[in-house]
Homo-oligomer: A and B are copies of this chain.
């Protein structure tokens, strides 16, 4: 299974702050956009997961800021799954400015599948085996941990 193409998007004016750079909180939102784009392109419909009564809760995020994205920039976000064991799913991200290719920001997020009703951890394997297969395949492709 080939990893999906990176996610590309423009910087919005409302994402800048008075330092004339993108406010640091927005990269966390871009990670979410990139992650959803990544799984969508791989054939996973996050809405369908939720329709099955499963939530993908965010357990942790981190972000390292090297350079600032600015209004007018187009950014390219690479998403890479680095761990998947049925219950936990971790991603890493690299945000680049498209024109220069310069790395602006890197980050990580870790997730846990929960029952919507119970709000307790749940193994995706039993409930959505086809999606597990896709995630395992992507992980093998990118060299992440099981």
Contacts and interface: CB of A to CB of B under 8 A. Distances in A.
Copies of this chain, tallied across the complex: 4
Contact of A29 (B12, B57, B64): B12
Contact of A62 (B14, B26, B36, B60): B60
A17 B19 contact: no
Interface in A29-75: 29, 32-33, 36, 46-47, 55, 57-65, 71-72
B65 A62 contact: no
Most buried by B among A16, A19, A20, A33: A19
- Interface size of A as a range: 20 to 34
Contact of A71 (B14, B20, B47): B47
Interface of A, secondary structure class, is: mixed
Contact of A14 (B23, B55, B60): B23
A18 interface: yes
Contacts of A23: 13-14
Given A17-B18, A18-B71, A61-B62, 12 more contacts: A12-B29, A13-B17, A13-B36, A14-B17, A18-B18, A18-B21, A24-B61, A25-B26, A47-B71, A59-B64, A62-B62, A62-B63
